[in-house]
Every structure is written in structure tokens, then in C-alpha cells.
Amino acid sequence: MSEPTPPFRAGFVAVIGKPNVGKSTLINHFVGRKVSIVSPRPQTTRRRILGVANYPDAQIVFVDTPGIHKPKYKLGERMVESAIGALDDADLVLFVVDASRPPNSEDRHIAQILSEQAKAPIILVLNKMDKLPPEKVKPHTEAYWELVPNHAEWMMTNAVKGHNCDKLLELILKYLPESPPFFPPEQITDQPERLFAAEIIREKVLLNTRQEVPHGVGVAIERWEERPNGVLYIATTVYVERETHKGIVIGDKGAMLKKIGKLAREELELWLGQRLYLELWVKVRENWRNHPAFFQQIES
């Protein structure tokens, strides 16, 4: 007699944590392709993004969220609201922390939010295990575990190299409800191609410009046009908040902007599967992060 077919499971997994702990890297690992941009800069992720990971008997819809922080701008306030809002419909919450450092006030604040607002079970993900000194394993692990409501299950990971991600996956699958899939198997994200392209360009700015520039960078797709020769034409504006930042993004004789454009074009051609022509312009829009109508416009 054949073994009964296991039930199909599907659910939404909210990935929560402070900025720069590896949330997007973890999701990209499970999905198998980049759906969220990554950089060493805090607050790289600015809005909720779905990453869909498909398995023979399960579908996990990861909800990548902006890092929860103390906001200084209206954009930051919206980012934090977006992250906390992901808790409402989650079937499971991954609380991702940087295990190489002990908990700080941001981690404790997030733990308090989870205690008050999370309805779903929580798994503590102690990421960046490769940077954790052996003598700090026990004190750091215990300190984070004590923060989590109901002393949740936990797993140490290195999202960059995928260490222990298979074990984390087993934990996640335990908590998913029986359900048909929410998305077709070929869909890996809810992001429209235009928004993903804008994010890739912003990632290249983040990775290649100085410390003072990245937080004030916004990217708007102005034109998206399929040309008769099969080339996709994308015209883009990179917004910065100061004239000095504009000079940094453009670089000497346009060298930096050319580098950013080349790196973004190469990655987008691979992601979209077609040749494209990318045109970049840089404009100054002072204090744009405090103008909700503007930053909502450039993300639509």
C-alpha cells in the first residue's frame, strides 16, 4: 500500500528585524533569485516585498520588510509602519538578529512590538553566525532568546553562504498551515518589473557612493519602452537631496554614473532576459524624504 501524499502547505512568513541584519539576503537565498536588493547600508529595504519560494509540497511567501528603526523622516515613519503592518496577516514571524553583536535598544524595541502585536508563532533567526566569536555564542544566544515572546524556537544562520538555512526551512515548514498555493509556481515576487528595475539602480548607487549619499537617494522610472529592434529602453531619474550628492553620484566627467548604469544594465538584462538601453539622469530634490506625495509617486 502506497504512502499517503503529504498535504500541501502554504503561508505568509513575515521577516522582521532592525536594519542591516540580513533579512533580504535570507529571503533571496530561499527564493533562489534576487527579489530584494542588498547592501551594507542600513535601511536598504524601503517597502514590503514578497518573495515566493516554491517546493514540491509547500509554498512559502516571505514578506521582506524595512528594518525597524527610530525614524528621522516621513519616509522612515512609513517604512516602520509597513514593517509592523506585515505582522497582521503572517502565519509565522522570523525575528532576524545580528548574532555577532549583543542585543541593543532596537532589538529590545522590536521584541516588545512582537510581544504586543504578533499573533503568529515566532522563530528567532540568529544570523551572521560566521562573525560570532566562540566565547560569545552562549551569552549572545541566551540574551536574544530571553527577548523573544514565549521563548521561541531559534536557529543560527549565515544567510550569505546558506549555512543552516536547510534546518531553518524545516522549522518554517512545521508552522505553515495546510493550504493551496497563493501564487503560480513561476511567480517569485509581487514586484512589477519597473519597480524592481528602480530598486536595482538604487542598489548600485548604494554600493558605489560615499556614506553620506545613500539614505537620500530615490529612483524613478520615467519611461519604459519596447523598441522595434527588441531592445527595452528605460529612462530613469536618480533623485538626491543636495547638490554635493549630485556631484558624487555623477562623478568626475560622469564616471560614477556610467559605472552605476553599466552595473545596473548588466544585472537587469540577466533578470529580464533581454537587451536594454538604460538612460540615467540625476536631479536634486531637497528633503524629499519628508514629502509623502513625492516618495509615493516615485514608487508607483
> In the structure, what pLDDT confidence band is assigned to residue 1 with cuts at 50, 70 and 90?
very low
Q: 2 pLDDT band (50/70/90 cuts)?
A: low
CB 43 within 8 A of CB 67: yes
Instruction: Please state the pTM of the whole predicted model.
Output: 0.88
Query: pLDDT grade, residue 4 (50/70/90)?
Result: low
Domains of the chain by range and CATH? 9-175 (3.40.50.300), 193-297 (3.30.300.20)
Where residue 296 falls (left for φ over 0; alpha for ψ -120 to 50; beta otherwise) is alpha
Q: Which of 23-32, 97-106, 140-149, 160-169 has the lowest mean pLDDT?
A: 140-149
Q: Of 267, 273, 291, nearest to 38 (Cα)?
A: 267
Supply the pLDDT for residue 216: 83
Q: What is the pLDDT of residues 27-85, one digit of tens each?
A: 999 999 998 878 777 767 777 889 999 999 999 999 998 888 887 778 878 878 888 88
C-alpha cell belonging to residue 203:
542598489
The CA–CA distances, whole Å, from 112 to 115, 148, 248 equal: 5, 8, 40
| pLDDT surpasses 80 at 227 | yes
DSSP result, 87-133: TTT-SEEEEEEETTS---HHHHHHHHHHHHH--S-EEEEEE-GGG--
Q: Give the DSSP letter of residue 62.
A: E
